[in-house]
């Protein structure tokens, strides 16, 4: 791979080859066990609340509508899939936190962002025929906490055992872990594990940058995708401490307060892979070096002031939609074992919610979006 051309000290994107994915013989079994563990989480939370929530990222903090504009005159390697041509399309955004049960926000865990673009054109992924959406499911990190599907399964099984258990203890532990993480970061370090267990800093969710953390096809190449706040009113929230007081839904309140007064803008950025060894597909825990391939902007998302949490949006977006990287174009097929084993889990989760809530899951069409 060392004979690739170099432009401005950055290598040219690496064309994807099928051999880059290595599928273990027992991967289907791992996927089945993963779906079973997630199904157990959903059964537990449904039994407790009478409402079916997602198996992960169950708690939403903002349900928002806006528009995405693909930039004009993108170079050929970036003008791919949903970003193949300049266009403005409706977009939905759902901000969330990681656990599968609905916790007090003082249990501070990693944040998520799901984006659904409506009106994309092109060949579809299996199971999404006839749809016109492209979903990107992201975390506020640049790599996944587990390297392989089996590592992910082990972690998930441990977390599943804590679902709906000892909420008071979780709050106390989270406070301790935040302190440990803060000390670690003051020394120049960071721990994804501590953050996932409750040690995430108690900061404003709208100041976060998000990425797909795992790769996907990007036309003939492969890449990671990020969504980064760029308007000054959003970047002012980055790393801003939020005092929730006694409100267990403090993050949601903060998002509501912000969008009651302000809109905001984010950039969609793409990091094209240039080196298979340093930007692997099957090890999801590797953060790709940006000195070899920086994130480059391909689109902009703009949201106007709005009600960030309304009964209408809860029904239409939180309960009525599923966000899955498998809802989309063949040009953006998810890659790697962690994503492959999650496909049955996404399908199980949306089916469970539809059945138990009596609310059909649907994919929006351009005519149905404002």
This prediction's pTM: 0.88
SS3 215: coil
pLDDT tens-digit map of 336-347? 999 999 999 889
- How many whole angstroms separate alpha carbon 155 and alpha carbon 335? 21
pLDDT tens-digit map of 248-289? 999 999 999 999 999 999 999 999 999 999 999 999 999 999
Backbone angles phi, psi at 17, to 5 degrees: -125, 145
Task: Report angle CA 310, 313, 318 to the nearest 5 degrees.
Answer: 120
- H helices of 96-210, in order, are 149-160, 167-186, 192-196
User: Which fold is adopted by the domain 15-360?
Assistant: Catalase HpII,  Chain A, domain 1 (2.40.180)
Q: Read off the DSSP letter of residue 264.
A: E
Extents of the domains making up the chain = 15-360
> Exposed (0-12), middle (13-18) or buried (19+): which is 335, by Cβ within 10 Å?
buried
Instruction: Name the residue among 116, 163, 138 with its Cα closest to residue 320.
Output: 116
> Half-sphere exposure (CA, 13 Å, Cβ side) for 35?
20
Segments of 27-170 assigned E as strands: 59-70, 88-97, 111-118, 133-139
- How many whole angstroms separate alpha carbon 291 and alpha carbon 274? 11
pLDDT tens-digit map of 196-255? 444 578 899 999 999 999 999 999 999 999 999 999 999 999 999 998 888 999 999 999
How far, CA to CA in Å, does 318 sit from each of 61, 83, 254, 304? 10, 26, 18, 19
């Amino acid at each position: 791979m060392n004979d690739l051309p170099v432009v401005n000290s950055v290598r040219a994107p690496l064309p994807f080859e099928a051999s880059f994915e290595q599928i273990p013989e027992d991967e289907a079994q791992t996927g089945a066990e993963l779906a079973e563990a997630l199904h157990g989480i959903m059964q537990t939370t449904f039994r407790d609340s009478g409402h079916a929530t997602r198996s992960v990222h169950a708690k939403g903090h903002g349900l928002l509508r806006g528009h995405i504009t693909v930039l004009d005159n993108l170079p050929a390697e970036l003008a791919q899939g949903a970003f193949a041509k300049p266009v403005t399309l409706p977009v939905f955004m759902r901000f969330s936190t990681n656990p599968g049960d609905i916790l007090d926000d003082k249990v501070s865990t990693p944040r998520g962002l799901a984006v659904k673009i409506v009106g994309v054109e092109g060949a579809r992924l299996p199971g999404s025929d006839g749809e016109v959406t492209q979903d990107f499911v992201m975390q506020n990190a640049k790599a996944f906490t587990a390297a392989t599907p089996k590592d992910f399964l082990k972690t998930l099984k441990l977390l599943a055992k804590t679902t709906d258990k000892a909420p008071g203890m979780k709050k106390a532990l989270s406070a301790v872990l935040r302190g440990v993480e803060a000390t670690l970061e003051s020394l120049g370090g960071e721990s994804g594990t501590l953050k996932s267990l409750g040690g995430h800093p108690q900061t404003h969710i709208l100041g976060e940058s998000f990425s797909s953390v795992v790769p996907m096809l990007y036309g003939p190449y492969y890449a990671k995708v990020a969504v980064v706040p760029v308007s000054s009113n959003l970047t002012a929230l980055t790393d801003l401490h939020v005092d929730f007081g006694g409100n267990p839904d403090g993050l949601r309140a903060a998002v509501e307060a912000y969008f009651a007064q302000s809109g905001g803008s984010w950039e969609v950025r793409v990091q094209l892979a240039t080196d298979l060894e340093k930007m692997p597909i099957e090890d999801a825990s590797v953060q790709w070096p940006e000195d070899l391939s920086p994130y480059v902007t391909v689109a902009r998302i703009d949201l106007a002031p709005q009600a960030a949490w309304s009964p209408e949006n809860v029904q239409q977006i939180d309960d009525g939609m599923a966000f899955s990287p498998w809802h989309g174009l063949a040009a953006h097929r998810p890659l790697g074992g962690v994503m492959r084993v999650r496909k049955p889990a996404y399908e199980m989760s949306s089916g469970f919610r539809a059945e138990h809530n009596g609310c059909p899951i649907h994919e929006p069409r351009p005519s149905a979006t404002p």
